[in-house]
Structure 1
Amino acid sequence: MTKDNTIQKSMGWSLSSEVAVKFVVPVTNMILARVLTPDAFGVVAVCNMLVSFVDLITDAGFGKYLVQHDFESEEEKGQYADVSFWTNLGISVLMTVLIILFRFPIASFLGHRDYGNVIAIASVQLIITSVSSIQTAIFRREFEFKKLFVARISVAAAPLMITVPLALILRSFWALIIGNISGALVNAMVLTAFSKWRPGFFYKVTILKRMFNYSFWSLCEALANWTIFWVDTFIVGSVFSEYQLGLYKNSTNMVQSIMGMISASMSPVLLSTLSRLKNSKEKYSDAFLNIYNLILYLILPMGAGLFLYRDTATLLLFGSQWSEAANIVGAWGLMMLCSVTFYSFPAELYKSKGIPQVLFLFQMLYLVILIPVCIVSAGYGFWIMVYARCLCVLWQVFISVIFMKKYIGMALNKFFVTFITPCLATGCMVIGSVFMKTFLRGTPGDIIAIFICTIIYTAFLAIFARRQITRSISGMRDNNLK
């Protein structure tokens, strides 16, 4: 691809897929939250915690290696893809068999022995996912996000078409389990249909050894990242009831889904772009700051809005029976704002530079604080633990800034300059919201206030930020990505 708008098109397709998916997923969850109880979501949270953990091990970081590494030829790239595919598939089959054999001890360890058979069936999606992981990496490397867009839409539609009808019939967590497996199967089928690459009967141990150094540290950072987002779930499931686990995890999942619309769409493009530009310091820095600036204009008002209108958001997303979740939604909105801004996107810097061990060190320093805080605060009650977990993000912000300066050589003055206009625009929106809350009350009043806040924010951007946004978009043009 030699066109100078490669990045813009990739970002456009990636963002479009996430917007579409994040439209379908909340609609699905809104329906399911009104059909199923929090207990059902608690059961699925336990299964997803295990499956996502094992899925990281089966991938072993090979997908990121294929995106980041510079190959000398298409033949060499194909050989590395073959080795990655067969390794992933072999590990997936082995791990699935082990989970099935030891399903009850595993379930007991997770605090829910009765769900051994549920965990065994849920683990089947590990084999299905391993089939499509290498194809996804190749599509990202080649900036073929249009094909990934179609796959994402198909995956999002599967739960809506399958999970919801099953939930209405079964009224149990089995609808969610079957929906997850169906989504993984649809994803594998669509990506296989689109992919020009097909796994060949090729395997070479020397290639596996070459990938191991990067992949090992990439796996370590992926596991540390999993721990960051699941350790609180494990603690809640161990200390509190299934109801509180479902209340907590479904609420946080929804916030992550909404805020992740930006990170999930931009991060793959950012990694692919920075990986191609890593040998040009000036282009590398400019590409990151230009994309980062656009991200801030999207992520800051989303986090602030979830906090300000947490009651209305919870009512619309889950229904009145989930009213207790409003404070979780609000607190996590602010927490995810900071985490996405200072962790999710800067993480791509370390991956693109081929230094995942530095990112792993960053994550371990964060976990050193996060885990003890969650354990100790859980002893004081559910809500104390929720708020304490969110406040830990301040430590994450601090070490993120230190690491970017030390290991990336980021000019912090340029980095923080990108915050000025987005923060001012968000600040005007917040002031307008606080003012309107004095005379617009209740859900109808909040909906009107949200509409007015959107107008205020858009007007500020049109008047004061139009040139900066245009400059950031223009700055992403580059005809030497590949």
Structure 2
Amino acid sequence: MQLKDKSISGFFWVFLDQVGGQLIGFLVSIVLARILFPEDFGLIAMTSLFINIGNTLMDSGLTSSLIRSKENKQIDYATVFYINITVAILIYFLLYWTAPFVAQFYKSPILEEILRIYTLTFIVNAFFAVQKAILVKRMDFKYQLLISIPSIIISGVLGIYLAFVGYGVWSLVYMYIFKSIIDCVLYWILIRWRPTFEFSFPVAKYHLKYGINICFSSLIHVVYTDMYNLFIGRVYNSVILGYYYRANSTKTLIVNNLSTALDKVLFPVFAHIQDDNERLKHVYQRVMQQVFFWICPVLVYFLIMAEPIFIFVFSEKWLPAVPYFQILCLVGILTPIQTYNVNILKVKGRSDLVLRLEYVKKPIFIIGIIISLNYGIMALMWNQVIANLIGLFINSYYSGKMINYTLLEQIKDLSKTILVTIIVGLVAYFLLTTLQISLSPIALILLIALICFCLYLGLSYIIKNPPFLEFNIIFKKLIKSRR
């Protein structure tokens, strides 16, 4: 199968995985949000910094190195496998020992036990990280769909049952642990690769040389991203953090459906053509336009319709999360563009530059967080928008130099989508203010969504927006390939 056809097929399966998995996960989160309280989700958010740090250190960027490497042997996979497990065990015991200090920092004793149990996922995840990387490298996303959907359904049902019978925050903890276990079992059943008893220090050095920079840059990014949870949980309380957690997870759900699907497919695609700058630029240009074409209007719609959506989906007890969600939608629009600019640096083998840029960006962003804390939580939200804009300028400058695709050119390519989105957004706002008194939340959501969707596609067709025309071609090929 040619790389182009493989990419289209891969995107089809990953998109099904993302949409199916996220939709099921979203339905589970709706039920849990109606049963549990904001402070339960706030407690989970307090652990997110430590969970994400542990997962980042466990992987150490080694799976990215496996995906990027043009040729891997059994000893490459075995070496990475044993490194992942060893690091995961060390990180687990480190966090087990530091759990009391974390609980003391947040003034929440229950966090000690939550961390000690929740972090068992590090060890479980380490056992199938290589198998997962093999599937991504092969661009065999059909198997990932067959694994992720059952694990989300089974663990979700367990989480809902435990929440219903009164387990509170523990229903979330056990749900996440059970999901990791199911993923691990299914990866080992469906993927034939097995580790052999061999280890190579030169191979470890080769992958660590690339992976360690990715690891540290990811670590800096994780610490910065979860620092919002850290400060909100410490300066305010678990209830406000629960509202922020719900707003951020809802935004992430929307963004991840498309951007993560494309990211899983395109990183190995970019890796295949990393030495052809002209082709890399062409593929990247089309990807950027396609991602922005779908994410931008969706997030603008959710920004405008946030209040009726939250009332209908999560109930009125979650209304304080609406202002946070609306600002985070602006962040979500910028996120995929940043991600793909960084991916260019990665596939070009410049993980050292990725790390250096994190050293430059994150101190600036942290200063912004500290200053924002003096002006309240809304200032903290707006700081995220400013930080993402700064990050976009920095990332696109260096990636643009490598493939001769500057930020100005990117904005020019996205200008038609921006114009149509603004028009449709204004129409949505007008319809909301006009109809919200006379219609129920669900009727309002569906009617305005239908009008805006038709208007968006109609205007895109009229002005011949390139990503819209490109999507027609991709859609026809997908239909043809399914026959």
TM-score by length of 1: 0.92
User: What CA deviation, in whole Å up to 9, does each residue of 1:322-353 have, x standing for no partner?
Assistant: 11111111110111111222x12222111111
- Output aligned runs, 1:10-409, within 5 Å: 10-71=10-71, 76-109=72-105, 111-341=107-337, 343-409=338-404
Looking at structure 2, the residues matched to 235 and 33 of structure 1 have their Cα atoms a distance apart, in angstroms, of: 23
Looking at structure 1, the residues matched to 44 and 466 of structure 2 have their Cα atoms a distance apart, in angstroms, of: 46
Compare relative contact order (CA 8 Å, sep 6+) and give the higher one, 1 or 2: 1
Q: 278-287 or 411-420, which moves further after superposition?
A: 411-420
**1:435 Cα shift?**
2.9
Looking at structure 1, the residues matched to 370 and 3 of structure 2 have their Cα atoms a distance apart, in angstroms, of: 52
Supply the AA of the counterpart residue of 1:252: N
Supply the AA of the counterpart residue of 2:305: Y
**1:355 Cα shift?**
1.1
What is the match of residue 448 of structure 1?
Answer: 447
Q: Is the Cα contact below 8 Å between 2:461 and 2:468 reproduced in 1?
A: no
TM-score by length of 2: 0.92
Distance 1:106 1:431, change over 3 A: closer
Supply the AA of the counterpart residue of 1:359: V
Identity %: 17
Q: Is the Cα contact below 8 Å between 2:247 and 2:324 reproduced in 1?
A: yes
Q: Is the Cα contact below 8 Å between 1:56 and 1:219 reproduced in 2?
A: yes
What is the match of residue 480 of structure 1?
Answer: none
Looking at structure 2, the residues matched to 212 and 99 of structure 1 have their Cα atoms a distance apart, in angstroms, of: 23
Looking at structure 2, the residues matched to 329 and 452 of structure 1 have their Cα atoms a distance apart, in angstroms, of: 23
User: What CA deviation, in whole Å up to 9, does each residue of 1:36-64 have, x standing for no partner?
Assistant: 11111111112232112111101111100
Distance 1:142 1:192, change over 3 A: same
Distance 1:467 1:411, change over 3 A: closer
Say which SS state the counterpart of residue 282 (structure 1) adopts: helix
Q: Is the Cα contact below 8 Å between 2:49 and 2:227 reproduced in 1?
A: no
**1:388 Cα shift?**
2.7
Distance 1:428 1:381, change over 3 A: closer
Looking at structure 1, the residues matched to 405 and 172 of structure 2 have their Cα atoms a distance apart, in angstroms, of: 44
Say which SS state the counterpart of residue 422 (structure 2) adopts: helix
**1:7 Cα shift?**
0.7
Q: Is the Cα contact below 8 Å between 1:63 and 1:137 reproduced in 2?
A: yes
- Which stretches in structure 1 are left out of the alignment for 5+ residues? 478-482
Q: Is the Cα contact below 8 Å between 1:263 and 1:345 reproduced in 2?
A: no
Supply the AA of the counterpart residue of 1:339: T
Q: Is the Cα contact below 8 Å between 1:111 and 1:237 reproduced in 2?
A: no
Q: Number of matched residues?
A: 472
Distance 1:96 1:417, change over 3 A: same
User: What CA deviation, in whole Å up to 9, does each residue of 1:219-270 have, x standing for no partner?
Assistant: 1111122123211111111111111111111221121122121221111111
Supply the AA of the counterpart residue of 2:173: I
Supply the AA of the counterpart residue of 2:309: A
Distance 1:428 1:382, change over 3 A: closer
Q: 2-11 or 127-136, which moves further after superposition?
A: 2-11
Distance 1:87 1:336, change over 3 A: same
Distance 1:213 1:141, change over 3 A: same
Looking at structure 1, the residues matched to 312 and 358 of structure 2 have their Cα atoms a distance apart, in angstroms, of: 34
Q: Is the Cα contact below 8 Å between 1:81 and 1:199 reproduced in 2?
A: yes
Say which SS state the counterpart of residue 397 (structure 1) adopts: helix
Supply the AA of the counterpart residue of 1:459: G
**1:438 Cα shift?**
4.1
Supply the AA of the counterpart residue of 1:128: V
Distance 1:140 1:435, change over 3 A: same
Supply the AA of the counterpart residue of 2:10: S
Distance 1:15 1:291, change over 3 A: same
User: What CA deviation, in whole Å up to 9, does each residue of 1:180-239 have, x standing for no partner?
Assistant: 001111111111122121111110111111112101101111112212321111111111
What is the match of residue 460 of structure 2?
Answer: 461
**1:441 Cα shift?**
1.5
Looking at structure 2, the residues matched to 473 and 138 of structure 1 have their Cα atoms a distance apart, in angstroms, of: 31
Looking at structure 2, the residues matched to 253 and 461 of structure 1 have their Cα atoms a distance apart, in angstroms, of: 30
Supply the AA of the counterpart residue of 2:347: S
Q: 94-103 or 61-70, which moves further after superposition?
A: 94-103
Q: 397-406 or 13-22, which moves further after superposition?
A: 397-406
Looking at structure 2, the residues matched to 385 and 468 of structure 1 have their Cα atoms a distance apart, in angstroms, of: 34
Looking at structure 1, the residues matched to 141 and 106 of structure 2 have their Cα atoms a distance apart, in angstroms, of: 37
Q: 243-252 or 383-392, which moves further after superposition?
A: 383-392
Looking at structure 2, the residues matched to 327 and 4 of structure 1 have their Cα atoms a distance apart, in angstroms, of: 41
- Which stretches in structure 2 are left out of the alignment for 5+ residues? 478-483
Distance 1:83 1:346, change over 3 A: same
**1:470 Cα shift?**
4.0
Looking at structure 2, the residues matched to 104 and 270 of structure 1 have their Cα atoms a distance apart, in angstroms, of: 42
Q: Is the Cα contact below 8 Å between 1:67 and 1:138 reproduced in 2?
A: yes
Supply the AA of the counterpart residue of 2:68: Q
**1:155 Cα shift?**
2.8
**1:472 Cα shift?**
6.7
Q: Is the Cα contact below 8 Å between 2:305 and 2:432 reproduced in 1?
A: no
What is the match of residue 481 of structure 2?
Answer: none
Distance 1:189 1:464, change over 3 A: farther
Q: Is the Cα contact below 8 Å between 2:267 and 2:347 reproduced in 1?
A: yes
Q: Is the Cα contact below 8 Å between 1:290 and 1:472 reproduced in 2?
A: no
**1:3 Cα shift?**
6.6
Q: Is the Cα contact below 8 Å between 1:290 and 1:475 reproduced in 2?
A: no
**1:383 Cα shift?**
2.5
The Cα RMSD (Å) is 2.1
User: What CA deviation, in whole Å up to 9, does each residue of 1:280-337 have, x standing for no partner?
Assistant: 1222111111222211111111221121111122223321101111111111011111
